Structure 1
Amino acid sequence: MAPTYNIAMVSDFFYPQPGGVESHIYQLSTKLMDRGHKVIIITHAYEGRTGVRYLTNGLKVYHVPFLVIFRSATFPTVFSFFPIFRNIVLRERIDIVHGHASLSNFCHEAILHARTMGLRTVFTDHSLFGFADAASILTNKLLKFTLSDVDHVICQRKHRPSRLPRPPHGLGHPQRRCSRKLQTPLPSENPSYPPPARPLGPHDIITIVVISRLFYNKGTDLLTAAIPRILENHPNTRFIIAGSGPKSIDLEQMIEQNVLQDRVEMLGPIRHEEVRDVMVRGHIYLHPSLTEAFGTVIVEAASCGLYVVCTQVGGIPEVLPSHMTVFAKPEEDDLVAATGRAIASMRANKVRTELFHEQVREMYSWENVAVRTERVYNGICGAISEGEFYGYYEGDNANNSWSATRGRSGVQSFALIDRLKRYYGCGIWAGKLFCLCVIVDYLLFLFLELWFPREVIDVCPDWPRKKRKDLSRE
């Protein structure tokens, strides 16, 4: 029988704030719980949410009161999070600490403290960074520090989003699993597809939907410049924009200057469960992001039956098939032209958007993501061999545990001297600073073990776990 684990998901970004990282953590956690694991969430306090909360399926969330400085990220203190983190980990008997998002301070600090405590660690990256500005350079250096002493790294790949909403034509979406992206037949090759939707006439209004955080990296400046040109070129077109952020004032000023109040509707921030209701009001989804690792929202838009116009950056080109998307360079002129091509295709009824939901439903599965994540946990804990994990050993060699081969697989041991060696190689000056942080963290750990021994910390009773699924059927 496959082992089960006590897992702590740690990130600054979680509900009630909506977003792709938040959705990923929640959906992955619930699917892992369905597979028999214990999962808790550690995040910072939000307005009205402090302390311990229980979500659906018994998912426990620790909202730690910490100062938030920018975009829901907490103030980095390096060491002050350690006492409460240690208390939570010991109370919940955590085996694996899984951090999410490179811009999450809690994530980086939790991985550092978990390694000091002798826990296995996993890091999932949800972002892409270059070297064009100081923030990106510092983030890359911070990642070098964290990834020097982590058991495994997961880069966000294709997965079914949290809500594949019911499409406008009313078809349901029963749960299905798929191990990889399927080749969906064209409508002409499969007569069982639904009949075409009502054709758009030349004077019918086409609604373009935008749901995004209104920040620079989400392409809000591009959107602000492109909207007046798109509306001028296409009279029977209107926009619905949902989201909040510092760039919302620029959009509002653009609407005032161009007198577009009757053609651009600003909804402001919307709740997670309202996303579907906004999307099905439109025909086209516009995603002008300047950097994106995946872009869950464009999968949600396609699932709602929207034709997607998006910038060709990061991992976006790999998310949806070409017949669902129109790509543009992250430039104003190209974005306007791409949106124009999408509007022309919709008016010519060349795009069968009523088929998108069924096709997307076959492409993505959260259950499959949980299976692959569980395989990572089995690998770093020695439940499967290194050869079985990487797939290059067969026969008797596959029975060798990772513990015997970890010297070749990356992070080997929790010994302080081995950790210092790995950190020292991170740079001439940064390496010495990293080593100093690890030494201080280790001394703080010894202090906590001495003055607040484990025996005095109460162990929390577990929420009743579901029975382990029969993995032989999967």
Structure 2
Amino acid sequence: MGGVESHLYELSQRLIQRGHKVIIVTHAYGNRTGVRYLTNGLKVYYVPTKEIYSAATLPTIYGFFPLFRNILIRESIQIVHGHGAFSSLCHEAIIHSKTMGLKAVFTDHSLFGFADASSILTNKLLKFSLSDVDHVICVSHTSKENTVLRAALSPRHVSVIPNAVVASQFLPDPTAPDPNWITIVVISRLVYRKGVDLLIAIIPRICEMYKHVRFIIGGDGPKRIDLEQMREKHLLHDRVELLGPIKHHEVRNVLIQGNIFLNTSLTEAFCIAIVEAACAGLLVVSTKVGGVPEVLPSHMINYASPEEDDLVIAVSKSIHQYRFGKIDTSLFNDQLKEMYNWSNVAERTEKVYGSVYQTKNSPLIERLRRYYGCGVYAGKIFCMVIALDYLIWRFLEWLFPIESVEKAQMFPYKKYRHYFQQTNSVYGNKNNIIQQTLLEEEEEEQDLDFPF
């Protein structure tokens, strides 16, 4: 589970606590298909679409529409909130929801360039899907500027709401690090965008300069083989530990083993990883790219340009700061707990929902006018795509009328709220609470199709 997935889960939980109904729609993960319930009654639809590469599904444009329309009607959805510029399901959902007259919000979690062919194509498609969106949320001011330029949006329709962290899940443990070593931790997807080539270049130099420094690297990706080759070449098996894939609930156990956290990304919109590391009591070293300079206070982080020599200097500076006790990292968790709070993120997101819900829907001709402005040739193609999407929707309305779609029963949030609160606070009495809840359910004789 990465940063976007964590964002979805935590935001959904807080919105449910604030009294909203939240449904997540995503693609199937292996055998995990169908409908599942997560904590606090969070309902997830795993749509049976096949992954084609790196957990991404093949864009179908219209193939997702019938099932998606059924879900929206069945769950009585009013606002569709898409996450991630790389998600084909997200963009298809935004287009289909606007065709159906619903409100649509988009959150961008990434940064793009403007020069290479991939960025040009992706930016044109983003401009298409966001031409009729009601509001856009970005996770940093740098991300907002990037998104406004890429999608030709008005800055008035773009808000900045940062990511957050559950600080209590990353409590530091001063006894965990090995006192005989200064441990540098890296947790990242091992891909080019995360600057793994820079990491490969600086590890041998740092290990040669400091005999008491070691590295713990967590994560997986196509660049892992390069890390393994570097370790073999320089005989660093005892000083470079490769953990492989790490589940999100295991991240804290890895972080507290370290003294310094290293991020070598070439581009980042926010980088929640450095916030989690600082919460765990690590001094952070990071490349100064994208929205990273907006994330942490200056006393928690040392910056470097995305260059080999500058990174070596920044890591060396952090090693000396830690060795001579110039920074007290034990206070980081309490400071960040106040800065990044999911309840605050949910409250600000709720205000965005409230503002878009008050706006009037545009007629079809106005929507076509917006898409027509996407380019001399692309605009005409986009108009044809939207016109066909509208015709398919009218056909589905005739073939499967709204009255024929069975409405889903509302999850009894109030009934189970006391159960979740008690299990969170008193884990030892969990079995008794479950039995009590099930007895209450039998007494009320409710025929609910919930997996409890």
> In structure 2, the residue corresponding to 1:278 is in which secondary structure?
helix
8 A contact 1:91–1:457 mirrored in 2: yes
Report the alpha carbon displacement of residue 198 of structure 1 after superposing the two structures with TM: 12
The residue that corresponds to 2:406 in the other structure is 458
Counterpart amino acid of 2:165?
A: P
In the alignment, what sits opposite 1:344?
320
C-alpha distance in structure 2 between counterparts of 1:460 and 1:284, whole Å: 49
Q: Deviations over 1:307-327 (max 9, x none)?
A: 000010011001000000000
1:160 and 1:445 mapped to 2: Cα distance? 38
Q: How does 1:294-313 map to 2 (within 5 A)?
A: 294-313=270-289
Q: What is the match of residue 270 of structure 1? A: 246
8 Å Cα contact 2:138/2:162 also seen in 1: no
What TM-score results when the alignment is normalised by the length of structure 2? 0.84
Query: Which residue is equivalent to 2:33?
Result: 50
Aligned residues of 1:116 and 1:414 also touching (Cα < 8 A):
no
**In structure 1, C-alpha distance between the alignment counterparts of 2:308 and 2:170, rounded to whole Å:** 33
Q: Which string of whole-angstrom CA distances, capped at 9 and with x for unpartnered residues, describes residues 71-124 of structure 1?
A: 212111111010110111111010000000111111100000000011000000
1:142 pairs with 122, 125, 131, which one?
125
1:290 aligns with 2:294: no
Tell me what 2:162 maps to. 158
Residue aligning to 1:103: 86
In the alignment, what sits opposite 1:11?
none
Contact 1:209 1:239 in 2 (8 A): yes
Task: Give the distance between the partners of 1:339 and 1:19, measured in 2 at CA.
Answer: 25
Structure 1 residues 373, 343: closer, same or farther in 2, change over 3 A? same
How far apart are 1:270 and its partner, in Å?
Answer: 1.1
| CA shift for structure 1 position 226 | 1.3
Note the C-alpha offset of 1:199. Answer: 12
The residue that corresponds to 1:423 in the other structure is: 371
Contact 1:116–1:442, Cα closer than 8 Å, also in 2: yes
Instruction: Name the residue aligned to 1:19.
Output: 2
Output the amino acid matched with 1:19.
G
- Which runs of structure 2 are paired with 1:188-199 in the superposition (5 Å)? none
The 5 Å alignment of 1:216-295 reads 216-295=192-271
Deviation at 1:169, TM superposition (A): 4.0
In the alignment, the residues of structure 2 paired with residue 25 and residue 305 of structure 1 have an alpha-carbon distance, to the nearest angstrom, of 25
Structure 1 pair 458/63, CA: closer, same or farther in 2 (3 Å)? Answer: same
**Residue type at the aligned position of 1:439:** A
The answer (yes or no) to whether the contact 1:215–1:246 under 8 Å persists in 2 is yes
Shift of 1:168: 2.8
Name stretches of at least 5 consecutive residues in structure 2 with no aligned partner.
Answer: 140-160, 416-452
Q: 1:150/1:199 Cα in 2 relative to 1: closer, same or farther (>3 Å)?
A: closer
CA contact (8 A) 2:183 2:216 kept: yes
**1:258 Cα offset (Å):** 1.1
* Deviation of the 1:209 alpha carbon: 0.4
For residues 65 and 369 of structure 1, do their structure 2 counterparts lie closer, same or farther at Cα, with a shift above 3 Å needed? Answer: same
User: CA-atom RMSD, angstroms?
Assistant: 1.9
- The AA in structure 2 aligned to 1:339 is V
* Alignment CA distance shift 1:333-1:436 (3 Å): same
**Quick one: distance in 1 between partners of 2:282 and 2:19?**
36
1:455 Cα deviation after fit? 1.6
> What SS does the aligned partner of 2:169 have?
coil
* 1:64 maps to which of 39, 47, 50: 47
| Contact 1:33 1:466 survives alignment (8 Å) | no
Query: Following TM superposition, by how much is the alpha carbon of 1:272 offset from its aligned partner in structure 2, in angstroms?
Result: 1.2
Cα 1:255–1:443 shift into 2, 3 Å = same
SS in 2 for 1:63: strand
**Counterparts of residues 256-405 of structure 1 (less than 5 Å):** 256-382=232-358, 402-403=359-360
Q: Per-residue displacement from partner, 1:386-427 (whole Å, max 9, x unpaired)? A: xxxxxxxxxxxxxxxx55xxxxxxxxx331111000000011
Offset, 1:465 = 3.3
Q: Within 2, Cα distance between the matches of 1:63 and 1:153?
A: 25
Q: Greater helix share, 1 or 2? A: 2
Q: TM-score, normalised by structure 1?
A: 0.81
